[in-house]
Amino acid sequence: MKLVRLGPVGQEKPGVLVDDDTFVDLTDEVGDFNEAFFGSGKLAQLDKVVAERVAAGKTESVNGRRFGAPFARPHQILCIGLNYSDHAAESGSKVPDEPILFTKSPNTLVGPNDDIQIPRGSVKTDWEIELGIVIGRHCSYLSDEAEALASIAGYVLVNDVSEREWQIERSGQWSKGKSAPTFNPAGPFLVTPDEVGDASNLDMTLDIDGVRRQTGNTSKMVFGPAFLVHYLSQFLALEPGDLINTGTPPGVGLGMKPPTYLTGGETLTLSISKLGTQTQRVLPDTSAT
């Protein structure tokens, strides 16, 4: 299934995409795709509900509707750094022996096609296409990777927007450079594991104004999805609806020679196979004018 949330900011309706043009509204059934929903186990029951409503002709058009993030604001956005060996190389860093963990403010979450706002005083705002994992149950001290896989509600395309000066040059505090408003577009849909199949073999691309900047495949991840969920559960409790951003392939602005960053006016287009496409406009820092 492809879970979506459609409508204006703060008024999104949860539903399931039937095809490219139609969806089934599930507001009365689930309320929202949030912690309570994912923790209830209702996700496994939605197939039947959706089939009944499609058969009854209870579908609606997606045309003209805004796609919000396909899940409500989570308790945590957890991020993994340098999780592609080729991205580590372009960053001048060694491949980590264990996952590098940092957090991102949950209020960075926006829809897949919402604008990205360059924050006040930023001169090094960067792009990062990533595979996102949404957690489907409370996870603490998971026993193995099989249990970890069973704990994943679905996968989502995300853009882990980053401010490199604040991340690297301001005392090396990564969360500081990751948590500005609009810095985590997600969607257009959350795809359940049965429909994704092997999440460790998905093609990834990011274009800026029609020029390809990132090309990758999740097979190049140092630490795969099941490993990450199991690993993180040994250090902290993962809650239903939490998001894990799993790292980016090479081609970020930081790794270009010379480094190149967003200034405003650009259009970003991101795609991951089976997870859809995002398009974002970049708005300039208005304080600089």
Average pLDDT value over all residues in the chain: 95
* Per-residue pLDDT tens digits for 154-180: 999 999 999 999 999 988 778 999 999
Report the Cα–Cα distance between both ends of the chain, in Å, rounded: 45
pLDDT of 70 reads 98
Cross-strand bridge partners of residue 184: 109
Contacts of 12 (CB under 8 A, 6+ apart): 5, 6, 32, 66, 68
* Per-residue pLDDT tens digits for 107-159: 999 999 999 999 999 999 999 999 999 999 999 999 999 999 999 999 999 99
The answer, yes or no, to whether residue 202 has pLDDT greater than 90, is yes
Confidence bin at 221 (pLDDT 50/70/90): very high
The domain segmentation of the chain, as residue ranges, is 2-61, 77-288
- The backbone torsions φ and ψ at residue 145, rounded to the nearest 5 degrees and listed phi first, read -70, -25
Helix ranges (DSSP H) in the chain: 27-30, 35-40, 46-55, 85-90, 145-150, 164, 193-196, 225-233
* Per-residue pLDDT tens digits for 35-94: 999 999 999 999 999 999 999 999 999 999 999 999 999 999 999 998 998 777 777 778
* Per-residue pLDDT tens digits for 1-48: 999 999 999 999 999 999 999 999 999 999 999 999 999 999 999 999
> Of the candidates 270, 278, 216, which has an alpha carbon nearest to the alpha carbon of residue 247?
216
pTM score over 0.85: yes
What are the strands of the beta sheet with 60-61, ordered from one edge? Answer: 60-61, 22-25, 13-17, 2-6, 190-191, 152-159, 129-135, 243-245, 77-81, 100-104
Architecture of the domain defined by 77-288: Alpha-Beta Complex (3.90)
Confidence bin at 289 (pLDDT 50/70/90): low
